[in-house]
């Protein structure tokens, strides 16, 4: 499979996505770029975020990427349709796995860990209204997580307290709705072990990449 995949994120979070793609699709060239200057995006206006993102994706397009993965839930849930009007190669977004969580929960209570901008987006509310209208969705305050992870200064005791609080509320599915959080996924799984399943969309995105490349016959 001779193709080039662009992977974009606001910060280091998307690097885990790029690495997962490289591992699953070793013949694919993966070009990872991020916007370390302006990270995090979750507390910024979407007009401002668009002004950062559009030129970066245009550059990936000029680099002859066949597909671009937007490894940022904030951008995917708020701006991907607008970006598709400007970028002429297929864009694959990442968004909270609300549907999968609703299908797998046994307690009827799931948690979505995401940025304030993702939680406020119309797309996220559509996902909840469509797939989670018969279950309870808990949205813990994760507003400090991206900054901690980007600075390599994670407060592990704070994260443990938050995950324990979710489990005490009978949450049995924890959705990671920001790629930054993939870097503490192992910690979250350890804390929630035996009590809650942790979901994140890397494998789903890889399957979408394969389907998209087949559709455009790369």
In tens, the pLDDT along 152-195 reads 999 999 999 999 999 999 999 999 999 999 999 999 999 999 99
Residues 89 and 142 in one domain: no
Helix or strand (DSSP H, E) at 92: strand 91-93
- Mean pLDDT of the chain, nearest integer: 96
Distance in angstroms between the alpha carbons of the first and the last residue of the chain? 7
Catalytic positions: 72, 178
**Number of Cβ within a 10 Å radius of residue 212:** 19
Residues 103 and 194 in one domain: yes
Give residue 2's pLDDT band: very low, low, confident or very high (50, 70, 90): confident
Could you read off the pLDDT of 196-207 as tens digits, one per residue? 999 999 999 999
Strands 197-199 and 173-176 come out as parallel
pLDDT at 208 over 80: yes
164: phi then psi, degrees, rounded to nearest 5: -60, -40
pLDDT at 218 over 60: no
Domain count, the chain: 2
- Residue percentage of the chain with pLDDT more than 90: 96
Residues 144 and 114 in one domain: yes
What is the model's pLDDT at position 72? 96
Residues 54 and 15 in one domain: yes
Residues 70 and 143 in one domain: no
Residues 62 and 103 in one domain: no
Residues 180 and 156 in one domain: yes
Give residue 217's pLDDT band: very low, low, confident or very high (50, 70, 90): confident
CATH number, domain containing residue 159 = 3.40.50.1860
Residues 155 and 124 in one domain: yes
Q: If you ran DSSP here, which 8-state letter would residue 107 be given?
A: S
- Residue percentage of the chain with pLDDT more than 70: 99
**Number of Cβ within a 10 Å radius of residue 22:** 15
- Rounded to 5°, the CA angle 217-68-119 comes to 130
What is the model's pLDDT at position 207? 97
Provide the residue range defining the domain that includes 62: 4-94+202-215
Least confidently predicted of 37-46, 120-129, 168-177: 37-46
What is the model's pLDDT at position 1? 52
Residues 33 and 126 in one domain: no
Residues 86 and 10 in one domain: yes
| Three-state DSSP class for residue 208 | helix
Give residue 76's pLDDT band: very low, low, confident or very high (50, 70, 90): very high
| The model's pTM | 0.93
Residues 81 and 32 in one domain: yes
Please enumerate in sequence order all residues whose Cβ is within 8 A of that of 146, keeping only pairs 6 or more positions apart, or say none.
Answer: 10, 11, 13, 39, 40, 42, 115, 178, 180, 181
Residues 189 and 104 in one domain: yes
What is the model's pLDDT at position 196? 98
């Amino acid at each position: 499979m001779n193709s080039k995949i662009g992977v974009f994120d606001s910060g280091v979070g998307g690097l885990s996505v790029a690495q997962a793609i490289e591992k699953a699709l070793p013949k694919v060239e993966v070009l990872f770029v991020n916007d370390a200057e302006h990270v995090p995006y979750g507390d910024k206006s979407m007009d401002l975020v668009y002004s950062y993102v559009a030129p970066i994706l245009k550059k990936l397009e000029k680099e002859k990427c066949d597909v671009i993965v937007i490894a940022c839930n904030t951008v995917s849930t708020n701006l991907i349709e607008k970006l598709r009007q400007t970028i002429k190669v297929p864009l694959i977004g990442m968004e909270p796995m609300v549907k999968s969580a609703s299908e797998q929960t046994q307690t009827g209570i799931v948690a979505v860990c995401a940025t304030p901008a993702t939680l406020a987006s119309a797309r996220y509310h559509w996902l909840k209204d469509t797939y989670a209208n018969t279950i309870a969705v808990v949205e813990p305050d994760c507003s400090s997580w991206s900054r901690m992870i980007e600075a390599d200064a994670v407060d592990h005791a704070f994260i443990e307290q938050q995950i324990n609080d979710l489990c005490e509320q009978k949450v049995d599915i924890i959705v990671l709705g920001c790629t930054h959080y993939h870097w503490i996924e192992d910690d979250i799984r350890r804390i929630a072990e035996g009590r809650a399943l942790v979901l994140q969309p890397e494998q789903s995105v890889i399957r979408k990449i394969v389907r998209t490349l087949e559709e455009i016959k790369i």
